[in-house]
Structure 1
C-alpha cells in the first residue's frame, strides 16, 4: 500500500510561453523544496508521479516532453527535478492533473489516499488540481516552498483557498513524510 504519492506538476517545461519570465524566479525559489520532496519520496519508496502538460503536441510522450524541456532556455530548472527511472508519468492537456487523465485510476491502483502536490503554477494548475483531488476524497498536502507562481498575490489567495475550502494541509517541504502520514 502506498498511502501517499508525490505529484510533480508541469515542471518539465521549456519556458517558452507568455508568462515564463514572471514564473522563472519563483521556480528557482521552489526548486530546493521540490528536490527535498523528491529525495524523501524516493527514499521512502512512495510513488512519484509527474503530471505534465503536452503543450499541444498530441504525438508526444514523456521522453519527448523531457527532452524538449531540457533543450529549452532554462535547462537548469529541469535537470534538478527530472524524473528518474522509477517515476510514473501522466500527460495532461488542461490545468487539472485529473481532467481527462488516467491519474485517478493510477492512484487507485497504487492505493494512494493522500497526494502531495508540488510544481507550477500555484494559482492555476496546482489550485485546480487540489480542488479535483479534494472532490475525489484525497487528502491534499501543499508544501508552500515547493510550488511556484506567476502572480504572488493570486498565489497567496490560491493557497488560502486550498487550505480553507479544500482542507488542504499547507506546510513546508521539510515537514512532509510519505510512508506514515500521521504528520504532514
Structure 2
C-alpha cells in the first residue's frame, strides 16, 4: 500500500508533495474568485483568491494620543481616521479568506538595524525623544518591537491568523521578509492602507508595483498627518503611475455582489 505523500510548504498555497523517493512540484490549482469594483477612471476586476491587504503603521506611536507623534506635538487626529473603515473592512476580508498583513515599524532593542541617517530624521538634535527612546509619559520605547508604542491600536486588534511583518524603513520591502511571504501566499493583488499615506504607505506600494504586484490604495483607509496637498499628490501619483485608487466601500460592495 502506497504511503500518502507529505506536504512540504507553507499553508498549502505554495507547497510540494514529497516522500522518500519522489517529489511532486505541481501546486494545487486556485479557483478564481472575480470581484469587480470601481477604481476611477476604470472599473477593475480582481481575483480575490490571490488578493491580500497590507495595513501599515496603525500603531500607538503614530495614532494614539499618548504615543510618540502626539508627544512631539503632531496632531494625530488625521492618523486615526482609517480606524473606523478598517474596523468594518478587515473582518469581512478575513471571512473571505483574504490574508491580512500588518506591516509595522518595529526596531531591534539594540538599534543595530538603524543608521545614523535614519535616526537623524526623527531626532535631528540628538537630544529629543527618538527611535528606541522611552516616552516620558509611560516609558514605552519608541517603535521598539514588542513595546506598547509599536503595538497596533486597540481598536484594530489583530486576529489570530493575521500575519505580522516588522519593518525599519519607509518601504516595507527593504530588509524584511515581506516579498517572500507574499510569494509564498501566492498573492498578486495587494490593497494598501494605513499611515502615513505619503510616506510609508506610498513607499511600500511603489516598491510592490516595481516588483510586479497589482496595487490598490484604499483612500478612505489611509491618511497622513502631513499637509493636505501631500495626500492629494499621493492619490494623484498612485492613480497616474503606480496602480489604482479605490474606497473600502467599493471593495465591500464588489465582494457582496460576487457572493
Q: Comparing both structures, which one devotes a greater share of its residues to helix?
A: 1
Given that residues 130 and 140 in structure 1 are in contact (C-alpha distance below 8 angstroms), is that contact kept between their aligned partners in structure 2? yes
The counterpart of 2:179, out of the listed 104, 113, 127, is 104
Aligned to 2:19: none
Please say if 1:164 is aligned against 2:240.
Answer: yes
CA–CA distance in 2 between the matches of 1:83 and 1:20?
27
Is 1:28 matched with 2:46?
A: no
**1:169-184 mapped onto 2 (5 Å cutoff):** 169-176=244-251
- TM-score (structure 2 length as normaliser): 0.60
Name the structure, 1 or 2, with higher relative contact order (CA <8 Å, separation 6+).
Answer: 1
State the partner residue of 2:55: 8
Q: Where in structure 2 are there 5+ consecutive unaligned residues?
A: 1-29, 31-48, 62-66, 112-143
CA RMSD of aligned residues (A): 2.7
Structure 1's consecutive aligned runs of 4 or more residues displaced over 6 angstroms after TM superposition are none
The structure where strand makes up a greater share of residues is 2
Q: In the alignment, what sits opposite 1:74?
A: none
Question: Partners in 1 of 2:75 and 2:107 — Cα distance?
Answer: 17
For the Cα contact (< 8 Å) 1:143–1:171, is it kept in 2? yes
Aligned residue pairs: how many?
Answer: 172
Within-5 A mapping of 1:1-184:
1=30, 2-14=49-61, 15-17=67-69, 22=74, 24-55=76-107, 57=109, 61=145, 64-65=146-147, 67-69=148-150, 78-151=153-226, 152-166=228-242, 168-176=243-251
Answer whether contact 2:104 2:167 (CA < 8 A) is retained: yes
1:50-88 deviation line (CA, Å, top 9, x unaligned): 011114535864xx14x3356xxxxxx811112111111
Deviation at 1:121, TM superposition (A): 0.3
Contact 1:19 1:150 (8 Å CA) reproduced: no
Structure with higher Rg: it is 2
Q: Give the drift of 1:18.
A: 7.0
Please tell me whether the aligned partners of residues 98 and 129 of structure 1 are also in contact (alpha carbons under 8 angstroms).
Answer: yes
3-state SS of 1:24 partner? coil
| Runs of 5+ unmatched residues, structure 1 | 71-76
